[in-house]
Structure 1
């Protein structure tokens, strides 16, 4: 029906019809897939959720005399410095290292902070303290350096996230007899609560289940700025079992994302902390889906009751945990699910409201002509198996 080039021409003329994915789902209910496909050019999706496999690359610029940084702390959080004299990588889940604090204090004020908070502060234009120790050589004679930086006083500052946008995930519960602190937050004993992280039918990858529209080079909304799909994400597992509508029944595809953090907005990049687990980064990500043919609309019309996630028991500390079966996202969003006859309250980690706002803001970018679509330069593999590690180095496949 359409090409990306044709859609981009309509965007430039501000004639493109753009619907959020929720608007599309509602319109399909009244006018059908075929008519909706004739009317709409682009569908916008979005999510705002913790994405712990995220981080930032920073280039500080050279000092005088020069320093070859081999240890570095940003507001007391260690940054990796093993790939360039003044290049750093700051991981979102890196914990504060109290020994790296310049004031020599006990670090109490940083206890619930980590890399995600430092990244968010830099995005917000705040000042960050830097302390570095160098490896002295004939090229780099400086042994240490201390200063403050902002996003405007360093060269490059961009997010490079190895794993974002899980295509579906799990529901966490606790069938044991003590409180558990997990990457989903606290799980109460005796099935006291359940937590899920994916926003369901508005989530980007659930509306393009076979990644036919999303590939390497796809332009996206990342943290309130423009980003791109850089590669498949770590733990990418597209061979996950799938329903007849092609959506997976558990963690499946993931994407590696990249984008200029200097252009991002504080609203969409926020540090967070999970008690007794660690820091992370709340991130807004939106992906536009070009309506190239009718099947695109058919895929995007999927509803929460047609999507399912596995209920996993975190009280069993194993790689493969027992499950209590599958539950639909419609049930999850009702606030209560039933597990073995017990009514269990449910809460999402993702902000459904802000996920909707991401899709809406991306829609506004496109309708105003400021954001056009890109052709993927290569597809994301849909044949990648998932390998795990054993104690003696033996690998097994979880296909």
Structure 2
């Protein structure tokens, strides 16, 4: 029906028709797939949720005399310095280092990243390896996003296509990356926004690939590669959506252009720091099949209910539950009603889809052709399988 080039011509002329994915779903209910596909050019999706496999690349610029940084702290949070002399990588879940033997886990890399994006000053302390070309041994200063060369997010794993629902069938509270799980199945927590989520609306990654331009943290970003733990071979429903964690994407974008509203440090009690991140993906309507997938509703999407009280990689489940049931606030587990709540913000996920729609309508955001597809054949390898093989040999 259309090409990305044709859609971009409409964007540049400000004649493009853009709907959020919720608007698309409502329109399909009114007029059907074929008519909706004729009417719309681009569908916008969004999510705002914790994405802990995220971080920032920072280049400080050289000091005088120069320093080859081997250890570094930003507001007390260690940054990785094992490559170029003044290049750093700050992970979102890295916690503030222990002071006087006590670790302060409430603040971490996600908070420092968010503060830098907001323009706040950050205290830097560095220790160097003294060499003939890098004679300086120590360095302390205050940096902001405007006083460093490069500051961009490079996130190894974002946008899980689906995830799990966490519960606790044990006798004591558990503190997890989904937040606190109360004992005896007293609550359930899920993280994916369901039918709003980008990858649920393109389950086979037909329009999303390496080089796809996206909304990332309030600025423009790109899909850089498949994400870590990318598992497109997950079992799927007849509508092609996965029944558990499946595809993921690695994302990149200039943090100097981002807005701290969409990049927020957070803390999970007794677990550690993380990062709440806003991501929006435009889906070009190249054919009717695109609309078929984007018409999926929360009733048509499921996630596994996983019991965290069993401390194993593969935990028992209480079956599958639909996102419609999750969003109702109550699910049933073995005949018992259990409160359910999301980590994702449904309101902010909608706002991202709306904002991206406005950018496209105003001609400020054009679409890109992927330069390569994301793998659809990647399997998932548990680490202990190799140890077992070595032991047998």
Same fold (TM over 0.5): yes
CA distance in 2, matches of 1:191, 1:251: 22
- Work out whether 1:165 is the aligned partner of 2:159: yes
Partner of 2:63: 63
Partner of 1:346: 340
Partner of 1:232: 226
CA distance in 2, matches of 1:17, 1:374: 17
Q: Which of 243, 263, 268 does residue 269 from structure 1 map onto?
A: 263
- Work out whether 1:25 is the aligned partner of 2:25: yes
Partner of 1:369: 363
Decide whether the 8 Å contact of 2:105 with 2:272 is kept in 1. Answer: no
Partner of 1:126: 120
- CA shift, 1:361, in A, is 0.3
CA distance in 2, matches of 1:314, 1:218: 35
Partner of 2:279: 285
Decide whether the 8 Å contact of 2:105 with 2:273 is kept in 1. Answer: no
Q: Which of 205, 214, 220 does residue 211 from structure 1 map onto?
A: 205
Deviation track 1:194-246 (CA, whole Å, cap 9, x = no partner) reads 00000000100000000000000000000000000000000000000000000
- CA shift, 1:393, in A, is 2.4
Partner of 2:131: 137
* TM-score, structure 1 normalization: 0.96
Which secondary structure state, in structure 2, belongs to the residue aligned with residue 206 of structure 1? coil
Decide whether the 8 Å contact of 1:49 with 1:282 is kept in 2. Answer: yes
Which secondary structure state, in structure 2, belongs to the residue aligned with residue 37 of structure 1? helix
Q: Alpha carbons of 1:395 and 1:265: their partners in 2 closer, same or farther (altered >3 Å)?
A: farther
Partner of 1:326: 320
CA distance in 2, matches of 1:152, 1:225: 16
- Work out whether 1:250 is the aligned partner of 2:244: yes
CA distance in 2, matches of 1:297, 1:237: 24
Q: Alpha carbons of 1:139 and 1:291: their partners in 2 closer, same or farther (altered >3 Å)?
A: same
Q: Which of 371, 375, 380 does residue 374 from structure 2 map onto?
A: 380
CA distance in 2, matches of 1:390, 1:33: 46
Q: Alpha carbons of 1:167 and 1:106: their partners in 2 closer, same or farther (altered >3 Å)?
A: same
Decide whether the 8 Å contact of 1:388 with 1:395 is kept in 2. Answer: no
Q: Which of 181, 188, 209 does residue 187 from structure 1 map onto?
A: 181
Partner of 1:94: 94
Which secondary structure state, in structure 2, belongs to the residue aligned with residue 297 of structure 1? helix
Structure 2 unpaired stretches of 5+: none
Partner of 1:35: 35
CA distance in 1, matches of 2:150, 2:205: 30
Partner of 2:150: 156
CA distance in 2, matches of 1:355, 1:16: 22
Decide whether the 8 Å contact of 2:210 with 2:371 is kept in 1. Answer: yes
- CA shift, 1:111, in A, is 4.0
CA distance in 2, matches of 1:154, 1:300: 41
Partner of 2:74: 74
- CA shift, 1:390, in A, is 1.1
CA distance in 2, matches of 1:391, 1:320: 13
- Please provide the CA RMSD for this pair: 1.3
CA distance in 1, matches of 2:146, 2:387: 45
Partner of 2:329: 335
* TM-score, structure 2 normalization: 0.98
Partner of 1:3: 3
Deviation track 1:149-170 (CA, whole Å, cap 9, x = no partner) reads 0000000000000000000000
The runs of at least 4 aligned residues of structure 1 exceeding 3 Å deviation read: 105-108
CA distance in 1, matches of 2:217, 2:361: 19
- CA shift, 1:392, in A, is 6.1
